[in-house]
Amino acid sequence: MTERTGPLVELRDVKVHFPIKSGVLFDRTVGYVYAVDGVSLSINKGETYGLVGESGCGKSTLGRGLLRLVEPTDGEIVFDGTDVRSLKGETMRRARRRMQMIFQDPLSSLDPRQSVESLLVEGLKAHGLAGDKAATAKRLREALDAVGLPASALSKYPHEFSGGQRQRIGIARALVLDPDLIVADEPVSALDVSIQAQVLNLLEDLQNERGLTYLIIAHDLAVVRHIADTVGVMYLGGLVEEASSDDLYREPMHPYTKALMSAVPVPDPTVEDRRERILLAGDLPSPSNPPAGCRFHTRCPWAQPTRCADERPALREVVGGHRVACHYAEQIADGKIRPHEVEPELVRPDEGAAPGDPGELIPTP
Ligand SMILES: Nc1ncnc2c1ncn2[C@@H]1O[C@H](COP(=O)(O)OP(=O)(O)OP(=O)(O)O)[C@@H](O)[C@H]1O
Instruction: Render pLDDT for 325-336 as a digit per residue (tens, 0 to 9).
Output: 999 999 999 999
pLDDT at 363: 34
Ligand 1 near 349 CB (within 6 A): no
Q: Where does the pLDDT of residue 113 fall: very low under 50, low under 70, confident under 90, or very high at 90 and above?
A: confident
Ligand 1 neighbourhood includes 48 CB (under 6 angstroms): no
pLDDT at 344 over 50: no
**pLDDT class of 342 with cuts at 50, 70, 90:** low
Is 57's C-beta closer than 6 angstroms to any atom of ligand 1? yes
pLDDT at 347 over 60: no
Domain boundaries, the chain: 270-320+327-360
Cα separation, 122 vs 136, in Å, equals 11
Ligand 1: does its nearest atom lie under 6 Å from the Cβ of 230? no
- pLDDT for 300 beyond 80: yes
Ligand 1 near 306 CB (within 6 A): no
Q: How many CB atoms lie within 10 A of CB 114?
A: 14
Please report, for residues 29, 225, 268, 272, 339, the alpha-carbon distance to residue 355 in angstroms, rounded to integers and kept in the order given. Answer: 48, 22, 13, 8, 20
Residue 360 has pLDDT above 60, yes or no: no
- pLDDT over threshold 70, residue 362: no
Cα of 129 from ligand 1 centre, angstroms? 33
| Cβ neighbours, 10 Å, residue 138 | 11
Q: Over the chain, what is the mean pLDDT?
A: 87
- Spacing, Cα 71 to ligand 1 middle (Å): 14
Note the pLDDT of residue 1.
Answer: 47
Residue that wins the pLDDT comparison between 81 and 364: 81
Q: From the CB of 287, is ligand 1 less than 6 Å away?
A: yes
Residue nearest to atom 26 of ligand 1 (CA): 55
Å from CA of 55 to ligand 1 middle: 8
Residue 348 CA to ligand 1 centre (angstroms): 35
Q: pLDDT digits over 158-211, tens only?
A: 889 999 999 999 999 999 999 999 999 999 998 998 899 999 999 999 999 999
Ligand 1 centre distance from Cα of residue 362 (Å):
31
**CB of 35 shorter than 6 A to ligand 1:** yes
What is the rounded distance in angstroms from the CA atom of residue 249 to the CA atom of residue 247? 6
123 or 209, higher pLDDT: 209
Spacing, Cα 219 to ligand 1 middle (Å): 13
CA distances from 136 to 153, 219, 237 (A): 15, 36, 41
Give the C-alpha distances (Å, rounded to integers) separating 97 from 30, 127, 176, 322, 360.
Answer: 36, 7, 10, 33, 52
How close are the terminal C-alpha atoms of the chain, in Å?
50
| CB 33 near ligand 1, within 6 Å | yes
Spacing of C-alpha 94 from chain mean position: 24
Residue with CA closest to ligand 1 atom 14: 58
Q: Where are the alpha helices (DSSP H) in 263-296?
A: none
**Which residue minimizes the CA distance to atom 8 of ligand 1?**
61
Q: Which residues of 329-365 are buried (b: 16+ CB within 10 A; e: fewer)?
A: beebbeeebebeebeebbbebeeebeeeeeeebeeee
Q: How confident is the model at residue 343 (pLDDT cuts 50, 70, 90)?
A: very low
Q: What's the average model confidence in pLDDT over 63-76? A: 96
DSSP 115: -
Could you tell me the distance, in angstroms and rounded to a whole number, from the CA of residue 56 to the centre of ligand 1? 5
CA of 46 to the centre of ligand 1 (A): 28
Which ranges in 244-359 belong to alpha helices (H)? 245-250, 255-262, 307-310, 329-333
DSSP state, 177?
Answer: T
Residue 83 is predicted with a pLDDT of 95
CA-based nearest residue to 66, from 197, 184, 228, 219: 184
CA distances from 283 to 153, 212, 236, 264 (A): 46, 38, 12, 19
Residue owning the nearest CA to atom 7 of ligand 1: 18
Pocket test for ligand 1, best of 22, 33, 108, 260 (most atoms within 8 A of CB): 33
pLDDT at position 316 over 70: yes
User: 152 CB under 6 A from ligand 1?
Assistant: no
pTM for the whole thing? 0.89
pLDDT tens, residue by residue, 20-48: 998 888 888 899 999 999 999 999 999 99
The answer on pLDDT for 62 being more than 60 is yes
CA atoms of 139 and 342, how far apart (whole Å): 57
Cβ(295) – ligand 1 distance below 6 Å: no
pLDDT at 353 over 70: no
- Residues 35, 222, 365, 307: is their CA dihedral positive or negative? negative
pLDDT value of position 264: 66
Question: Using an 8 Å Cβ cutoff, are 99 and 79 in contact?
Answer: yes
Verify whether ligand 1 is closer than 6 Å to residue 65 (CB atom): no
Position 4 pLDDT exceeds 50: yes
Q: Which ipTM was obtained for this model?
A: 0.97
**Spatial separation of the C-alpha atoms in residues 42 and 354, rounded to whole Å:** 41
Q: Quote the DSSP letter at residue 285.
A: P
| Mean pLDDT on 88-116 | 86
**In this structure, which residue's CA is closest to atom 17 in ligand 1?**
60
Q: How many residues does the chain have?
A: 365
What's the rounded Cα separation, in Å, for the pair 148 and 216?
21
User: Can you tell me the mean pLDDT for 231-258?
Assistant: 96
Which residues make Cβ contacts (< 8 Å) with residue 330, sequence separation at least 6? 318
On the question of pLDDT at 235 being above 80, the answer is yes
Looking at residue 324, what DSSP letter applies? E
Going by CA atoms, what residue is nearest to atom 12 of ligand 1?
35
Residue 27 DSSP symbol = -
